[in-house]
Amino acid sequence: MPEISKTTNILVCGVGGQGVMTATEILAEAALSLGFDVKKTEVAGMSQRGGVVTSHLRFGAQVRSPQILPGEADLLVGFEAAEALRWGHMLRPGAAALVNSGRIVPPVVNVGLFDYPDDPVAQMRTLGLAVYAFDASSLAQQLGNIRLGNTVMLGASADRLPFPAEVLRDAVLARFSARKPHLAEINREAFEAGRQAVAAAALAA
């Protein structure tokens, strides 16, 4: 059995259309299946137009608030690198950021309201953050569907959770077993691709 007494704080961030909220829901379902008390909250700004999306997830023996305070996140899952940079201050010392290095430029950049960082992953590292970056977008495309990116990112997070990776994998597959069983196998592949990608990134760090 996992250690339930400790509260785990996970911040998931990205832009609209990447499946940030769905990924957080699946993480929450995995924790719930093991008896954790789970709280989550989301902030979506024009999510259908590529705006900022963040989800806070906290689980433990007893969790009173879903809000993660700056400097208290145990894991940052960045679906988009510039957003990961923007939320890097939320990590506690020694915690890890898992970052999709695939460049997804939001509309606020295209219209000239903001500048996209030249190298957001490098900037995170100069801040002293432990960053494990890999191109989840390309992995999803290689598997045939860019929308598999959220499953790739879930796979990447699976070995940094306080319970076995198989619990999260099964929560992912449960999403498809009833309504879309033909998608189960490709999501299994995407999940394992994420695990392998972050393991390779950790070795290269």
Give 80-121 pLDDT, tens digit per residue: 999 999 999 999 999 999 999 988 776 666 666 677 888 999
Report the number of distinct structural domains present in the chain. 1
Residue 97 lies in a domain: yes
Are the C-beta atoms of 204 and 198 separated by less than 8 Å?
Answer: no
pLDDT at 161: 96
pLDDT at 52: 78
pLDDT at 115: 78
How far, rounded to the nearest angstrom, does the alpha carbon of residue 38 sit from its chain's CA centroid?
Answer: 17
Residue-range definition of the domain harbouring residue 181: 8-204
- The string of pLDDT tens digits covering residues 11-36 is 999 988 888 999 999 999 999 999 99
pLDDT at 143: 95
Residue 3 lies in a domain: no
Residue 39 lies in a domain: yes
pTM exceeds 0.75, yes or no? yes
Residue 106 lies in a domain: yes
When the pLDDT of each residue in the chain is averaged and rounded to a whole number, the result is 90
Residue 1 lies in a domain: no
> Residue with structure tokens 């769905």?
22
Residue 60 lies in a domain: yes
Residue 52 lies in a domain: yes
Residue 2 lies in a domain: no
- Which residue spans within 45-123 are E strands per DSSP? 52-60, 73-78, 91-100
Whichever domain contains 23, its CATH number is 3.40.920.10
- The string of pLDDT tens digits covering residues 43-91 is 765 544 557 789 999 999 999 999 999 999 999 999 999 999 999 999 9
Structure-token pair, residue 137: 């977008």
> Residue with structure tokens 């259908």?
48
